[in-house]
Each structure stands twice: as structure tokens, then as C-alpha cells.
Amino acid sequence: MSGLKELKRRQKTAMVIERMTGAMKMISRARYTAAQNEMRQKGDLIQVLQHMIKRITTQLESEDRTAVSVFADKGSKHAPWLFVVMTSDSGLCAGFNQKMIKAALQWLDQHKNESVQVLCLGKKGASALQKKGDITFFTEWNDSVNPSDRSASASRAAHTASAVAVHDSLSGICDLFKGGKIRGCSMLYGKFFNILKQEAEIVQILPSLLLESGPSIQTSKADDHDSGQATTGVNTYMIIEPNGQRVLDGVLDLWIRTMMKNTAQEHKLSEHAARMNAMDSANSNAKDMIRRLKIQYNRLRQDRITKEIIEIISGSDLGA
């Protein structure tokens, strides 16, 4: 009976795992859907802002004025380059965090001769990079994060922000760049390709390369109006007040902040997709384990019943 009890105990454990992974898969799916909808809304805003920047740039160039912005200029040479590493605050998402950490270490190794400071958004990345003694963390983050939003661990308070504060805190990077505290910023995030594929991606946020994109920033008159309108009789000239440069700086500032928040949202989308796939695989494995344990339990039980019947028959034959 000891073998049957052990199989029964393992079967109950597998059933608990199956229920837990099933519930976590449903939660991840709900969060994935919500993040996907929010990302689509922000994607529309990014397109509108980028179209506006193109129109302002085209108009400034038509007036023989150079389209420049404080966000397109290189920062102070004495300031560090900010490298934002995004991971998750929790695990159970397969190798998602390992991809982010591996890509971060490769990028840091390539730029080891430069002045780089790291800002971790996510406890998994912070705990992994803290083990490397040659990494300098961005200490100015203490002033831009509310004390109530910092990590509970005192050793990580200067290097990481909680997931709740990530979106609101990313806007402070633009202020740090304008204040000359950083000379530029790159972000490592999980790029979402589809529900089965998420890869580590590094993108330069500051200084912005949008004004240096050449032909892509130029628009023809046919592209300057809303879709569906005819080009004939449409006046594409805009009255920009107080002046084009200030408006361009303001719109570009809003575009960069929206891009950073959209990048963080895409990272969350990738994280939820990775966790959903991991929990789906774990749930399927738990169901297979339950099925195998049931078969093994029934076979062992039937074998013992058969032995008992044989013993009863053998005993009755001896008695006769």
C-alpha cells in the first residue's frame, strides 16, 4: 500500500500544479490582451506625433531654416551614457529574463571603454547585474523616484524602480538629458514579434535620430494631408506659434516620452506572452504527468488485486 499512497500523493501534487499553472496562464492572457490594446492606442499617438514632426520639419526647411532640436544634439562629453535595462520583477516566464540579461552584458562588454551607467527597471535584471563588480549604476535615479515606489530591498533602491513607477519615471530621462546629467540614453527591452517570439532589442532614445533620418523625415504634399483627401486645393502651410523651433522641441519631447512609454509597454507585452507560453507548457506537462500517474496507479492497484485473488484461490484449494 505504500506504493499506492506515494502515487496518490504525487497525483494530488500534480493536480495542484495543473490548477495553479492554468490560473496563471489565464491571468497572463488577460494581462497580455490589456497590454496589447493599450499598445495599439499609443501606437496611433506615435504616428500622429511623427507626422506632425515631419510637417514642421518640412515647413522649416522650405523657409530655409534648419530643423534642429535640443533632443537631437549630443549631450555633454563629461556626462555618462545611460543604459536602461528592462527585465521583469517576477519569474516563471521561461528564458525571457535570461535573454535580457545576456544582451545587456554583451552590450556593456562592447562599451566597456566608455562612461556608461546602468539603470535597471526590473528586479531580475538588478539582482543579476549587481553580481558584476565592474558595472556602474545610475545614482541620480534616487531623486526621480518616490520613496514609496522604490524596491523593498535597500541594496536595490538606488538601481531599480518598481513596475508601478516605470511608466511615470521614464519621463524623467528627458529632463536629465536637458539638464546635462546624461549625454545619451539607450534602452534594452523585449521586442514583441508575435505571441511565440520575443527577442532582446536595444534602441537609442537620446539623442533622437528622428531628425537625422534623411528622406524618411521629408514628406511630399501628397503625404501632408489626411488620408483620403485630394491634393488639389489643399494648403499644407501651417501657422506655427510662437516659433517653429519651440514647437518642434515640444512635439519631439512628447514623441520621445511616448516612445519610451510605448517601449516599456511592448516589453510588458513580451513578458506576458512569454509567461503565458511558459505556463501553457507547464500546464500541459502537469496534465501529462497526471495521466501517467493515473495509469501507473491503476496498473499497480490492479496488480495487487490480482495477487490477492490468486492468494485467496490458492488458499481455498489447499483447504479443499
Within this chain, do residues 130 and 265 fall inside the same structural domain, yes or no? yes
- Specify if 296 maps to a domain: yes
Q: Is the pLDDT of residue 209 over 90?
A: no
- The domain that holds 57 is classified in CATH as 3.40.1380.10
CB 149, CB 165: distance < 8 Å = yes
- The domain that holds 9 is classified in CATH as 1.10.287.80
Total domains, the chain: 2
Within this chain, do residues 292 and 210 fall inside the same structural domain, yes or no? no
Q: Is the pLDDT of residue 110 over 60?
A: yes
How many CA atoms, within 13 angstroms, populate the side-chain half-sphere of residue 185?
Answer: 27
Within this chain, do residues 134 and 200 fall inside the same structural domain, yes or no? yes
> Can you state the angle between helices 96-110 and 244-319, rounded to 10 degrees?
140
Q: Identify the pLDDT of residue 86.
A: 92
Within this chain, do residues 198 and 270 fall inside the same structural domain, yes or no? yes
Assign 63 a pLDDT band (cuts: 50, 70, 90).
Answer: confident
Parallel, antiparallel or unpaired: strands 197-206 and 184-194: antiparallel
- Specify if 230 maps to a domain: no
Within this chain, do residues 188 and 291 fall inside the same structural domain, yes or no? no
- Residues with Cβ within 8 Å of residue 144, at least 6 apart in sequence: 169, 172, 176
CB 2, CB 267: distance < 8 Å = no
Q: Identify the pLDDT of residue 151.
A: 41
Q: Identify the pLDDT of residue 157.
A: 38
Query: Dihedral sign, CA of 119, 166, 28, 273?
Result: negative
- Specify if 232 maps to a domain: no
Within this chain, do residues 188 and 288 fall inside the same structural domain, yes or no? no
- Residues with Cβ within 8 Å of residue 184, at least 6 apart in sequence: 74, 75, 81, 82, 177, 204, 206, 207
Assign 165 a pLDDT band (cuts: 50, 70, 90).
Answer: low
Extended strands (E) in 142-279: 184-194, 197-206
Within this chain, do residues 156 and 44 fall inside the same structural domain, yes or no? yes
- Specify if 81 maps to a domain: yes
Q: Identify the pLDDT of residue 67.
A: 72
pLDDT digits (tens, 9 = 90+) for 186-202: 999 999 999 889 999 99
- Specify if 320 maps to a domain: no
Within this chain, do residues 80 and 15 fall inside the same structural domain, yes or no? no
CB 218, CB 58: distance < 8 Å = yes
Within this chain, do residues 115 and 199 fall inside the same structural domain, yes or no? yes
Within this chain, do residues 167 and 297 fall inside the same structural domain, yes or no? no
CB 86, CB 122: distance < 8 Å = yes
pLDDT digits (tens, 9 = 90+) for 2-61: 688 899 999 999 999 999 999 999 999 999 999 888 888 777 788 888 888 888 888 887
pLDDT digits (tens, 9 = 90+) for 117-146: 999 888 898 889 988 878 899 876 544 444
CB 119, CB 85: distance < 8 Å = yes
Q: Identify the pLDDT of residue 219.
A: 35
Q: Identify the pLDDT of residue 38.
A: 82
Q: Identify the pLDDT of residue 20.
A: 94
Within this chain, do residues 219 and 283 fall inside the same structural domain, yes or no? no
CB 234, CB 225: distance < 8 Å = yes
Print the domain residue range for 292: 2-24+279-314
Within this chain, do residues 75 and 163 fall inside the same structural domain, yes or no? yes
Q: Identify the pLDDT of residue 167.
A: 57
What cell does 211 get?
Answer: 531628425
- Specify if 90 maps to a domain: yes
Q: Identify the pLDDT of residue 225.
A: 40
**Residue from 239, 222, 221, 211 nearest 57 by CA:** 211
Please list, residue by residue across 83-104, b when 16 or more beta carbons sit within 10 angstroms of its beta carbon and e when fewer do.
bbbbbbbeeebbebbebbbebb
